[in-house]
């Protein structure tokens, strides 16, 4: 259902909380006007406090199918690399239908938890033996179909992946589905570029997988190709997630990955450095000064034993960040932001660590910073309830006892630290009222298809 206007008893606007807000939308899903302290309002009134929807900057949709299947001890010490072997084995079984069904189910779950846009870092391109599908962009199109059917905003980031390690090392057999040279990736980008350009819910970008997977020359070539399509399109890259990666980069180049990237590539506000977990203080300062967004995925980074991003130093230097659910063991902005703060509390034995200069509420500071950084990383006009932005809104449930008697920033602190996705009542994306009282109109059909997909996938595993 497309809304024309919405009354909000209270809403978080760019200047702060406001009462009796009426937001008007146009047919194409843009916010046209926002008025506050309105005395009479239209028939549709929100069921509780209204927030800007949260961008999710980092997703590998197919990995949602692995949730709960990697928490089993292996024969030796488990770490990121042993997890990666399990993930590769699973990736090899994904058919185009399974990719689409998993993405649809994931995107419904995202909406219902409060994410209204996602950056899909998409590296599953080819058939299991590495042969391209008849349509080279087959799996990219499946992602676009899933996002459109569910209604979530999408920044599609086809991944350039060519090598198995620093210095153009040969890839392994399990990586064959991911591999493209720059021309091959260009064909995928070009195949979906028109779709993305014509739809305000979509944006196209590029994701060189990591410094392990590309060469310096390829990176320059790929950026030039992207610039020809869209010179402001987002660029995302995994960097410095694991210490082994940092050590390998030092052996290869004499520099750590973040330092190398900042020295050799035109890293700017259009870039999102995903993880960037292991940095020296100089790298943290330089990343903050670059204007790029750090794409933080705290629950995945905890699950994979990556380490803690130096978030206190980074925020002190006005570094920007967005949040992502990455491997999707958990799918909720509240879980990511709470984990970001709790990681610091546990390691420092202190409370309320990530303080924002303007907001004593930890929830308010984290939520607004992740909106700003997330919108920038996804390259779309989202993250603010203001004219000229997409009408992407999350309505919390005022009838949930957790919110009784609470107002303003206490609402956000309750959502992030206590209520989580259970507090999300309605979700509006591009002016479409997609989740109503916790229910998406296609969720039964999507879940039925996902059930069949999972039963097939797990039968193959066993
Ligand atoms: Zn990732």
Strands (E), 398-459: 424-429, 432-435
Longest dimension (CA), the chain: 67
- Calpha distance 366→348 (Å, rounded): 18
Phi-psi region of 189 (alpha: psi -120 to 50; beta: other; left: phi over 0): alpha
Which pLDDT band holds residue 76 (cuts at 50, 70, 90)? Answer: confident
C-alpha span between 415 and 233 (Å, rounded): 32
pLDDT of 461 > 60? The answer is no
219 and 352 share one domain:
yes
Other beta carbons within 10 Å of 343: 19
User: How much is the average pLDDT of 287-299?
Assistant: 98
72 within a domain of the structure (yes/no):
yes
DSSP secondary structure string, 113-125? HTEEEEEEEE---
- As a whole number, the mean pLDDT across the chain is 97
Q: Provide the token pair at 347.
A: 């390691």
pLDDT band, very low/low/confident/very high, at 214 (cuts 50, 70, 90): very high
285, 315 contact by CB (below 8 A): no
| Range 95-106 average pLDDT | 98
pLDDT at res. 1:
84
Burial group, residue 448, by CB count within 10 angstroms (0-12, 13-18, 19+): exposed
User: If you measure from the C-alpha of residue 203 to the centroid of ligand 1, how many angstroms do you get, rounded to a whole number?
Assistant: 19
Query: Could you tell me the pLDDT band of residue 45, with boundaries at 50, 70 and 90?
Result: very high
pLDDT (tens digit per residue) in 108-138: 999 999 999 999 999 999 999 999 999 999 9
CA distance 345 to 83: 27
10 Cα–ligand 1 center, Å? 36
SS3 (DSSP) at 105: helix
Q: How far is CA 96 from the centre of its chain?
A: 22
Q: Are residue 323 and residue 435 in the same domain, yes or no? A: no
* Whether residues 253 and 342 fall in one domain: yes
Q: What is the CATH number of the domain that holds 412?
A: 2.30.40.10
Give 315-334 pLDDT, tens digit per residue. Answer: 999 999 999 999 999 999 99
**CA-based radius of gyration for the chain:** 21
Measure 59 CA to ligand 1 centroid, in angstroms.
7
What pLDDT sits at residue 135?
A: 97
Q: Are residues 64 and 95 in the same domain?
A: yes
Residue of 7, 55, 33 whose CA lies nearest to 379? 55
- Do 166 and 195 fall within a single domain? yes
Mean pLDDT of 452-456: 96
Cβ contacts of 192 within 8 Å, gap of 6 or more: 137, 140, 141, 144, 156, 158, 204
Q: What's 101's domain CATH number?
A: 3.20.20.140
456 within a domain of the structure (yes/no): no
Do 366 and 399 belong to one domain? no
Does residue 461 belong to any structural domain of this protein?
A: no
Question: Which residue among 321, 348, 378 closes a domain?
Answer: 378
Per-residue confidence at 460, pLDDT binned at 50, 70, 90?
low
Q: Is 195 exposed, middle or buried (CB count within 10 Å of its CB: 0-12, 13-18, 19+)?
A: middle
What residues are annotated to the active site? 275, 326
Q: Tell me: the pLDDT tens digits for 414-439?
A: 999 999 999 999 999 999 999 999 99
Residues 155, 295, single domain; the answer is yes
- Of 351, 361, 356, nearest in space to 372 by CA: 356
- The answer to whether residue 454 sits within a structural domain is no
pLDDT of residue 41: 84
For residues 8 and 426, give the distance between their C-alpha atoms in angstroms, rounded to a whole number: 12
Ligand 1 centroid–CA 218 distance in Å is: 20
CA of 196 to the centre of ligand 1 (A): 22
CA of 332 to the centre of ligand 1 (A): 16
Do 64 and 72 meet the contact criterion of CB atoms below 8 Å apart? Answer: no
Domain count, the chain: 2
Q: Which band of pLDDT confidence, cut at 50, 70 and 90, is reported for residue 42?
A: confident
- Check: CB of residue 126 under 8 Å from CB of residue 177: yes
Same domain for 333 and 404, yes or no, is no
pTM attached to this predicted model = 0.98
Centroid of ligand 1 to alpha carbon of 238 (angstroms): 6
Residue 449 located in a structural domain: no
Half-sphere exposure of 40 (CA within 13 A, CB side): 0
Torsion on CA atoms 242, 243, 246, 251, rounded to nearest 10: -130
Q: 303 alpha carbon to ligand 1 midpoint, in Å?
A: 13
Query: 457 lies in a domain?
Result: no
In this structure, are 196 and 225 located in the same domain?
A: yes
CA of 8 to the centre of ligand 1 (A): 36
- Pair 141, 33 in one domain: no
Q: Which domain holds residue 277?
A: 53-378
Question: What's the CA-to-centroid distance between 255 and ligand 1, angstroms?
Answer: 22
In the reported structure, the alpha carbon of residue 301 is separated from the centroid of ligand 1 by a whole-number distance in angstroms of 10
Does 67 lie in the same domain as 46? Answer: no
Given 378, 402, 429, which residue is the final one in a domain?
378
Whether 28 and 158 share a structural domain: no
How much is the average pLDDT of 365-377?
98
CA of 63 to the centre of ligand 1 (A): 10
The answer to whether residue 204 is domain-embedded is yes
pLDDT the model gives residue 36: 98
Tokens of 16: 């702060």
Report residue 241's pLDDT band, with 50, 70 and 90 as the boundaries: very high
**Tens of pLDDT, residues 251-284:** 999 999 999 999 999 999 999 999 999 999 999 9
């Amino acid at each position: 259902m497309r809304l024309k206007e919405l009354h909000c008893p209270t809403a978080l606007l760019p200047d702060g909380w406001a009462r009796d807000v009426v937001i008007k939308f146009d047919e194409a899903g843009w916010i046209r006007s926002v008025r506050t302290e309105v005395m009479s309002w239209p028939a549709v009134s929100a069921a509780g406090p209204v927030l800007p929807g949260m961008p999710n900057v980092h997703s590998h949709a197919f990995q949602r199918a692995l949730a709960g299947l990697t928490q089993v001890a292996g024969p030796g010490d488990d770490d990121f690399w042993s997890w990666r072997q399990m993930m590769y084995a699973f990736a090899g079984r994904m058919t185009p239908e399974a990719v689409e069904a998993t993405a649809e189910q994931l995107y419904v779950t995202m909406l219902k938890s409060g994410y209204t846009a996602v950056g899909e870092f998409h590296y599953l391109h080819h058939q299991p033996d590495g042969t391209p599908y008849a349509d080279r962009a087959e799996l990219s199109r499946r992602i676009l179909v899933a996002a459109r059917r569910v209604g979530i905003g999408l920044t599609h980031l086809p991944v350039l992946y060519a090598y198995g390690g620093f210095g153009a090392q040969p890839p392994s057999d399990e990586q064959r589905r991911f591999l493209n040279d720059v021309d091959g990736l260009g064909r995928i980008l070009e195949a979906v570029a028109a779709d993305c350009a014509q739809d305000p819910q979509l944006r196209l970008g590029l994701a060189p997988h990591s410094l392990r997977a590309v060469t310096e020359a390829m990176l320059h070539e790929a950026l030039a190709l992207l610039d020809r399509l869209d010179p402001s399109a987002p660029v995302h890259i995994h960097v410095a997630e694991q210490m082994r990666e940092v050590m390998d980069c030092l052996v290869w180049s004499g520099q750590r990955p973040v330092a190398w990237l900042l020295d050799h590539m035109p890293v700017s506000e259009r870039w999102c450095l995903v993880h960037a977990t292991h940095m020296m203080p100089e790298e943290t300062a330089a990343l903050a000064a670059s204007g790029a967004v750090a794409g933080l995925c705290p629950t995945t980074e905890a699950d994979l034993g990556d380490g803690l991003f130096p978030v206190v130093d980074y925020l002190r230097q006005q570094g920007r960040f967005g949040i992502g659910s990455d491997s999707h063991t958990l799918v909720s902005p509240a879980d990511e932001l709470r984990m970001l703060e709790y990681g610091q509390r546990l390691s420092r034995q202190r409370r309320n660590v990530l303080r924002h200069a303007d907001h004593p509420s930890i929830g308010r500071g984290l939520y607004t910073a992740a909106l700003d950084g997330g919108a920038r990383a996804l390259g779309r006009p989202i993250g603010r309830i203001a004219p000229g932005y997409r009408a992407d809104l999350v309505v919390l449930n005022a009838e949930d006892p957790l919110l009784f008697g609470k107002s303003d920033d206490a609402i956000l602190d309750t959502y992030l630290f206590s209520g989580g996705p259970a507090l999300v009542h309605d979700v509006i994306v591009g002016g479409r009222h997609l989740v109503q009282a916790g229910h998406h109109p296609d969720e039964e059909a999507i879940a039925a298809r996902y059930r069949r997909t999972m039963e097939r996938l797990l039968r193959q595993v066993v």
